[in-house]
Amino acid sequence: MSEKVIVLDGLSLTLSDIVRVAREGYGARLSDEAVAAVKEANALVEEWAASDEVVYGITTGFGDLASVKISPRDRRVLQENLLRSHACGVGEPYPVDVTRAIMLLRINTLSRGHSGISHATLSGLVALLNAGIHPVIPCQGSVGASGDLCPLSHLAIALLGDGEAEFRGRIVPVREALSAAGLKPISLGAKEGLALNNGTTVMNAVAALALVDALNLARLADIAAAMSMEALHGVPYAYDARTHALRAYRGQHDVASNVRRLIEGSEIVERYKKDRVQDAYSLRCVPQVHGASRDALAHVRSVVEIEINSVTDNPLIFPKDRDVLSGGNFHGQPLALVMDFFGIAMAEFASISERRQARLVDASLSDLPPFLIEDSGLNSGFMIPQYTSAALVSENKVLAHPSSVDSIPTSANQEDHVSMGGYAARKAVSILENARKVLAIETLLSAQALDFSRLSLRPGRGTLAAHECVRSAIPYLKKDEYLHPLIERALELIERGSIVDAVEAAIGQLA
C-alpha cells in the first residue's frame, strides 16, 4: 500500500483527496471513529437478520419484490444473488481513475455507519483499492434511481471473486488479481449486498473528476481568449473593473480580472486601443460568458461536495434509535440536474471560442493574413481547424440536451421516476472533452496569429508566457503541414496544465 493515505470518516472527503487517490496513487484507510460506527450499525443488522422482524433488504426481497419474505437460511445468499444479478452493464469500462474514485467514494459513504455493512467487508473494499485491483465497470446500465445499481454491482462482485479487474496494467480475472495481491474472496452478511450497490457513487465519482478538470480548463479558456483578443487587436475597455462592479457575479469579476492581468503591459493593446471603442461579443463579452459558466461550475461544486460526504443507500440504519428507515437518498436527481448544467456551461466555453476562431481566420474581420498563413491560396493554413471546432460545437449542442428531464420507470413500476444521472454525468464528460479540444485549437490559432503582431510589438506578460509555452512544443507554421499532430500537441499542453502553469509563473495565480 502507498505510504500516502487518505483517512476516511464519511464526513470530510474533499475534491483534492479524490484526485490524490484517483490519479496520484494514494491509498485509503478508515478512521477509528468510522470503524466504531460501522461495527455498531452492523451489530444491529445481524440482530434483525436473526429475527422474524420484517426489514426491507434484510428479511425481504428488493424493489418490487419487497413484499417477499426471505427465510433466515437464505438471507446471506440473498445478498450475493443481488450483486450477481445486477452486474449486467454494457459498454466501455470506466477508466482507472474513475474506478478508483468510485471505490473511494463507496468506502467513504459506507464508513458513516448508517449502511449496516460489516467492518470485514468494508475493509475488503479498502484492500482492493490499496492493492490496485480495479474492477472492470461497464459505463452503461444505470438509470440513476436506487442510485447506480448496475455499475456498483460490477464493483461489488469483485469482493466475491467474480468478474474482471485492471491489475498492474492488465485486465485479468478478479480471482487472479486477488491471489497475486495475497487477498481472498469474501462471503457477504445480511444487507451487505444492498449496502454495496445502492447509491449515487458512480455518477458522483464521474462528476467529481470532471469538475476538477473543468475548473482547470476555465482558466485556460481565459488565457486563450486573451491571446485571441490581442491577436485581433481588440480594445480593453470591456474588461474595466468599473463596469463589472455594477453587476455582482463572482465569475464575471474573476474573468475580467484575469484578462486584465493577462494583457497587462501589452504593446499590442496600447497600439490599437484607440482604433475603436468596442469589439464583437466573442471578445467584448468574455467576462459575461466565461463568468456565467464559472458560476455554473461553482453551483455544481456545491452539490458534488455535499454528495461526496452523504449517505445514499437504502434502507438506512440509525443505531442510536435502533431503527431502520426506507427512504430515497439513492435518487440521483441533485447530480443529474447539475451535470446537465455542467454540460451546458462547458458547451458555452467551446461555443464562444469557436466564434473567436472564426474571426482569427477571416481576413475581412481582422488585420491578419487569410487563414493565418503566409502565401494564402497556395496554402490553406488554419482554414479547416476552425471547421473541426465548428463540428465539435455542433456535437455539443446535441449532447447538452438534458438527461434529467427523461424518466423510464423500472422494477415493475416500483421505481417509477428515475434521474438518468449516470448518463448526465457521462455526457457532461463528453462535452468537457470536446470543449478541451476546441480550446486547444483556439490556442494553436491565437499563437499563430500573435506571431504576426509580435514582430514589432510585445504582448502582455501573461499572454506572452502562454505564447512561449505553446512555441516550446509547436513551431510557427510557415506553410501547410500535417496539422493533426500540432492539435494533439496543443491538447497535451492543456491536459498537462503546462500553459496555465507558465502563465501563473509569470503573473501569479489566476482566479
Annotated catalytic residues are 56
How many other C-beta atoms can be found within 10 angstroms of the C-beta atom of residue 233?
20
Residues 6+ apart with CB under 8 A from 248: none
Question: Which grid cell is 285?
Answer: 463579452
Listed residue (487, 429, 395, 421) closest to 92, CA to CA: 429
- What's the CA gap between 262 and 251, in Å, rounded? 16
Instruction: Quickly tell me which residue has 464493483 as its cell.
Output: 155
> Which residues lie across from 376 on neighbouring strands?
379
The per-residue b/e assignment along 120-147, b for 16 or more CB within 10 angstroms, e otherwise, is: ebbbbbbbbbbbbbbbbbbbebbbbbbb
Residue with cell 464521474: 206
Query: CA 216 to CA 227: how far, in whole Å?
Result: 17
Q: Which residues contact 472 (CB under 8 A, 6 or more apart)?
A: none
Residue spans of alpha helices (H) in 264-325: 267-272, 281-284, 286-307
Identity of the amino acid at 491: L
Are residues 113 and 40 in contact, defined by beta-carbon separation less than 8 angstroms? yes
One-letter amino acid at 275 equals: D
Measured between alpha carbons, how far is 357 from 444 in angstroms, rounded to an integer?
A: 10
DSSP readout, 316-356? Answer: EEEGGGTEEE---TT--HHHHHHHHHHHHHHHHHHHHHHHH
Count of H helices and E strands in the chain? 20, 9
Is the distance from CB of 435 to CB of 458 less than 8 angstroms? no
User: Rounded distance, CA 98 to CA 137, Å?
Assistant: 10
The grid cell for 187 is 462471503
Compute the half-sphere exposure of residue 505: CA atoms within 13 Å on the CB side of its CA: 11
Neighbouring C-beta atoms of residue 459, cutoff 10 Å:
25
* Cα separation values, 261 from 90, 215, 266, Å: 48, 19, 10
Instruction: Give the integer Cα–Cα distance in Å for 22 and 6.
Output: 11
Please tell me whether residue 449 adopts helix, strand or coil conformation: helix
